[in-house]
Amino acid sequence: MKMYLISDNIDTWTGMRLAGVDGAVVHERDELKRELDKVLADKSIGIILLTEKFGREFPEIIDNVKLERKLPLIVEIPDRHGTGRKPDFITSYVNEAIGLKL
């Protein structure tokens, strides 16, 4: 299975291309929807990498795909500006998931 990147900036796209990952740069909601539909139609793609910005700005599109499909796996990655998540993201996620304070 292949990976495919949908990014909001050229720097992330360029870095992933150097690692051998195909992808596209999109900026608008309609562009994201079209690119996502194209990628979902390709059965050889097993992982879609999305920059975190899309998860923040268009959660209804991303969450819909995550909930309705088993494949491909959607992974949100930070871009060149870093992550938008809190420093204790993983700890708080585990605390919420299992109800234990670590």
Assigned fold of 2-98 = Rossmann fold (3.40.50)
Is-above-0.85 flag for pTM? no
Q: What angle do CA 52, 58, 24 make, to 5 degrees?
A: 60
Q: Where are the domains of the chain?
A: 2-98
Q: What is the 3-state secondary structure (H, E, C) of 39-101?
A: HHHCCCEEEEEEEHHHHHHCHHHHHHHHHHCCCCEEEEECECCECCCCCCHHHHHHHHHHCCC
Average pLDDT of adjacent 10-residue blocks, the chain of 102 residues: 91 90 93 93 93 86 85 84 62 70 64
* The pLDDT of residue 102: 61
